[in-house]
Amino acid sequence: MGYRDYPKRNTSNWSASNPLIMLVIINVLFFILLHFIKSIYNFSRLPETLFMQHVYDWFVIPARAIQFLQRPWVLFTAMFTQMNLILMVSNMFWLWTFGYILQDLIGERRVFPLYLYSGLAAVLVFLFIFNVIPQYSTVSSSITYSGATASILGVAFAATVISPQYRLFPMIGGGIPLWLLTLGFLIIDLASISASSYMFFVHGVAGLTGFLFAKSLLRGSDWSAWMNNLYDRITHLFQPRGSKKRRMVRREEVFYDTRGKQPFVRKVNVTQQRIDEILDKINQKGYQKLTEEERDMLRRASEGEI
């Protein structure tokens, strides 16, 4: 979809290990679950207000801090909760578009943490507005907040900061620059929230979070590192003991096995396995972390020289 200067690995994007796919799946599952429960209320001829009170309100952020403290899990469920079908389809389109580009630029393991960071920032600003600012603290307690749009704004802003000149559909007049696509998404979002002034602050902070995330990453500070390390530790707890040992042996074979080679002689041994290892490194750390030798290998591979 976009322009890149290194070859793409010949694997499917539709993998269960792809964080972007998992984000889309979680959003869709929440949407299906809520509508399934709502259909039960409808078939039982119960008023929709009961569904909102008994189910929906337990997934979204309430305006009152006291109610929020009684259901703290909504801090996470709210950023996946949306009931409008058109908004749901639109958000998943934008999430896939900007998420795919961001994965292409800095690796797949940073998309999920950024989504959470942006969503949490939006939630905290929402709670601050309705519990601290006098203008809003006296409004109805029935106001709630939910949706994936704020998190997607963070992803969009981060991708744009990393590479504003990234081009989509390069065969069409040289391509569409990423900053122009982000601007279009921002205009659509501002138009959709124009009736609620407080949402400008909520979504604005979410976009700012993505901006700061990208700027920090460009300076060498990765905000997602601790989250990924925690995830790795948790998943390793449920793996057989022997699997970790086999991974270490494999790593030593790939990176440290120098048997039969002359010392201090630099020799470029390029195979498909080596290319795959470099592409894995891109997925994990981003293209900017490659050495000059690795970039040269990818360039030559893309040009068919090796």
Q: CA angle 202-208-209, nearest 5°?
A: 90
User: Given this model, what pLDDT does residue 4 score?
Assistant: 45
User: Given this model, what pLDDT does residue 9 score?
Assistant: 41
Domains and CATH numbers, the chain: 19-225 (1.20.1540.10), 254-302 (no CATH)
Distance separating alpha carbons of residues 33 and 47, to the nearest angstrom: 18
User: Given this model, what pLDDT does residue 268 score?
Assistant: 52
Distance separating alpha carbons of residues 267 and 247, to the nearest angstrom: 25
pTM recorded for the entire structure: 0.74
DSSP structure string for 231-295: HHHHHHHTS-HHHHHHHHHHHHHHHT--TTS-TT-------HHHHHHHHHHHHHH-GGGS-HHHH
Q: What string of pLDDT tens digits covers the 306 residues of the chain?
A: 444 433 444 434 545 568 999 999 999 999 999 999 999 999 999 999 999 999 999 999 999 999 999 999 999 999 999 999 999 999 999 999 999 999 989 988 899 999 999 999 999 999 999 998 888 877 766 789 999 999 999 999 999 999 988 888 777 777 889 999 999 999 999 999 988 889 999 999 999 999 999 999 999 899 999 998 988 888 878 766 655 555 554 554 544 455 555 544 444 556 677 777 777 777 667 776 778 777 777 777 766 655
Pairing outcome for strands 144-145 and 167-168: unpaired
Tokens of 34: 């809520």
Look at residues 6, 5, 2 and name the one whose alpha carbon lies nearest to residue 279.
6
Q: Give start and end residues of each alpha helix (H) in 163-220.
A: 178-192, 198-218
Look at residues 113, 100, 90 and name the one whose alpha carbon lies nearest to residue 27.
90
Establish how many alpha carbons lie within 13 A of residue 94's alpha carbon, considering only the half-sphere containing its beta carbon: 24
Distance separating alpha carbons of residues 299 and 100, to the nearest angstrom: 22
Element (H, E) at 230: helix 225-237
